[in-house]
Chains A and B, each alone.
Chain A
Amino acid sequence: NAGVTQTPKFQVLKTGQSMTLQCAQDMNHEYMSWYRQDPGMGLRLIHYSVGAGITDQGEVPNGYNVSRSTTEDFPLRLLSAAPSQTSVYFCASRYTGAWRYEQYFGPGTRLTVT
């Protein structure tokens, strides 16, 4: 298994540009989520999905959109990039068959908005 994969690893955007961060997992996990990590802030939840066709907002959803058309993919869209969205973005997934299972994280995408 490749686990959780994210592309790209690094990205630089200009203010106002849009882009999509890709996330895929091959473990057939129902639950997927996006986090952002800022210096001194830990990880904060942006959006999550409990299955294909179902998404919901997390702690910091403004400026981001998500969709979940398949179990495997959970892309994160930045509609109009702002410098405040400069961060490291992590995608994670989890098997929901038992409550004890932890989330598996992707390698992260470092995004800089100038």
Chain B
Amino acid sequence: AQTVTQSQPEMSVQEAETVTLSCTYDTSESDYYLFWYKQPPSRQMILVIRQEAYKQQNATENRFSVNFQKAAKSFSLKISDSQLGDAAMYFCAYRNQLRGGSEKLVFGKGTKLTVNP
């Protein structure tokens, strides 16, 4: 069964600094997607970034980028120039498609990010 592990329950960063959140996953599939979701205190789940497994190039979205190491099954999130609004729970998620149009989306347990002014 696929599993997603976030080994850092909590992280902190100074405003304007860079922080990296770790994620590893276990799968025997070759075609899948990986996501980072942000959950602020409002509880809303917000997509931060996605990575297709077949793409070697790491995804970037403004200040957010990933380091995708497929062979190592590692998918870390780097936040540059951290802002107070980045403070939230961050969830790593794995998705692969099953037959009949269904899919399996598995979440890690999350990393709580604190941004210090």
Q: A30-B101, A43-B107, A99-B97 are in contact. Are A105 and B52 (CB under 8 A)?
A: no
Residues of chain B in range 88-117 having any CB-CB distance to chain A below 8 Å: 91, 97, 100-105, 107-110
Contact B33 A100 (CB under 8 A): yes
- Bound Cα distance A94, B95 (Å): 13
Asked if B68 is an interface residue, CB under 8 A from chain A, the answer is no
| Whole-angstrom distance between the Cβ of B25 and the nearest chain A Cβ | 12
Residues of chain A in range 35-81 having any CB-CB distance to chain B below 8 Å: 40-45, 48, 50-51, 56
Bits for B38-57, please: 1 = Cβ < 8 Å to A, else 0: 00001111010010100000
- Main SS of chain B's interface residues? strand
Count A-side interface residues using an 8 Å CB cutoff: 26
Contact A42 B33 (CB under 8 A): no
Contact A42 B108 (CB under 8 A): yes
Q: Contacting B105 at CB < 8 Å: which of A100, A103, A107? A: A103
Q: Contacting A102 at CB < 8 Å: which of B47, B100, B102, B107? A: B47
Residues of chain A in range 92-114 having any CB-CB distance to chain B below 8 Å: 92, 94, 96, 99-100, 102-103, 105, 107-108, 110
Q: A99-B97, A102-B35, A108-B43 are in contact. Are A43 and B102 (CB under 8 A)?
A: no
**Closest residue of chain A to B91, judged by CB?**
A42
Asked if A88 is an interface residue, CB under 8 A from chain B, the answer is yes
| Whole-angstrom distance between the Cβ of B34 and the nearest chain A Cβ | 11
**Closest residue of chain B to A40, judged by CB?**
B109
- Bound Cα distance A107, B44 (Å): 5
**Closest residue of chain A to B100, judged by CB?**
A50
Residues of chain B in range 24-41 having any CB-CB distance to chain A below 8 Å: 33, 35
Q: A42-B91, A42-B110 are in contact. Are A31 and B50 (CB under 8 A)?
A: no
Contact A96 B101 (CB under 8 A): yes
Contact A31 B109 (CB under 8 A): no
Contact B52 A100 (CB under 8 A): yes
